[in-house]
Structure 1
Amino acid sequence: MSNNLNGIDVAALQQFAQSVTESPAVGEARFNVKTKWEHQTRTVATVNHYSLGGENYQRHFEIAADEPEQLLGANSAPNPQELLMAALNACLSVGYVANAAAMGIKVNSLEIEADGKLDLRGFLGLNESVNPGYDEVSYTVRIDTDAPKERVEELHKVVTKTSVNLANFSKAIRMIPTLEVRNS
């Protein structure tokens, strides 16, 4: 098997997994995003760092969000729901290509499409019995590979079992809010 499959360094992946097996603290990751409101419904989130195994790593990315005009925005960026689904799709994609590489499966192409319906009566506070979030999100994985169908089904099971964002979507996360009020 090649040391690099689907753009993944298989030996490095195996070595990292082994180091986490030997010392679970090596696999502890913490991510942080700071979001500032700009105007109307537009925000810009900034990613400056993350930590892995107790070590901090600097990086810099900005992610804009806005609502479409029909939802009182300027339509200058994807809205938070689209970014949420994009995060799900991106996480699943990483899971497919990395696990496929570890399993010796070459991926020729991969596309993931997520879809969900919201009832905005919940968000607008018009009906307390209406969930402001999704009751259901569906996603379709389109993968092109020469691997036998049974191996691809095995890959699919591994990804659905281990995807961080799929777990975040499908299980409740304990949220710990803090409100800081400044008077100008």
Structure 2
Amino acid sequence: MTETSTSTTVKRESPAPKLLAFIAMLYIGALAIDYFYFVFPIIHYLWGIILLAIAFAIFLTFELVDLGPLKIPFEWWIMLIFGAILILMAYFFSPGTGFAYEYLPGILLLLAAVIDFVMQKKSYKASKMVALVGAGFTVYECFVLFLSGSPILIVNAVFGLILIILLIILIFDFVDLKILDFSWWVL
């Protein structure tokens, strides 16, 4: 008897950029609803309507609903444009200072665009790219904590930098750590 084996190759696109865009879309919808609660100035109502339109356009890129000729492809440059628009609008129209959460959907869309672009050029593991971007953001936050002058915040920044150094070692495999590897439970 002879056995024959067949192998099937399935091309699967990375869900990481779409997952980031989906989270950004949900957050954009929540921000839009939040903007409708502002009484003054009226520009917030317009900003909420624009946010809902962007969230709907991002929803259309997922091709979950067939709207006939109205199709928007999920491309990195479209997410880049939406992310840049959201960051600029949050910068110019945020209701005050200290509202960093308004930048989150734009940053998520920019991250989705960068991951999608890089994965088209070279096959990288998307989770490592997201972890690397998170590490960069955490280094920035640690330096902000150092500048605060508060002893407890400085201790938090030191622990944050130690964890980030460990994460970067795991991402790039600088040292072969037997007890830790780059997996979901480590992150």
Same fold (TM over 0.5): no
Q: Which is greater in Rg?
A: 2
The TM-score range, normalised by the shorter chain, is under 0.3
What is the TM-score when the length of structure 2 is the normalising length? 0.26
Compare the two structures and name the one with the higher strand fraction.
1
What is the TM-score when the length of structure 1 is the normalising length? 0.26
